[in-house]
Amino acid sequence: MSLAMAECGKKVLIKEIASGVCLRKRLSDLGIYEGVKVEVVRNDFSGPVIVSVLDSKVILGRGEVHKIMVE
């Protein structure tokens, strides 16, 4: 499933980032890459998604979270 479908409070493992080089680099710089666990802090199914990774909170747009596959 994509990160866009994850519920608030859930910890998920990033399995794949189905995007181009630029988005992969940006996410990697933020600590989001394949194999890392993130916690969904906010996902209202509209607007941005907030995740917690490496003791930081990161805001991701809807288009970005649809490209991040999680387990």
> What residue segments make up the domains of the chain, in order of their start?
3-70
Q: What is the pLDDT of residue 11?
A: 97
Q: What is the pLDDT of residue 45?
A: 78
User: pLDDT digits over 25-35, tens only?
Assistant: 999 999 999 99
Give the separation between CA 60 and CA 57, rounded to whole angstroms.
10
Local mean pLDDT, 10-residue blocks, the chain (71 residues) = 94 95 95 96 92 94 95 95
Q: What is the pTM of this model?
A: 0.90
Q: What is the pLDDT of residue 39?
A: 97
Please state whether 27 falls in left (phi above 0), alpha (psi between -120 and 50) or beta. Answer: alpha
CA 55 to chain centre: 14
> Are residues 40 and 10 in contact, defined by beta-carbon separation less than 8 angstroms?
yes
CATH architecture of 3-70: Roll (2.30)
Nearest Cα to Cα of residue 41 among 27, 58, 24, 25: 58
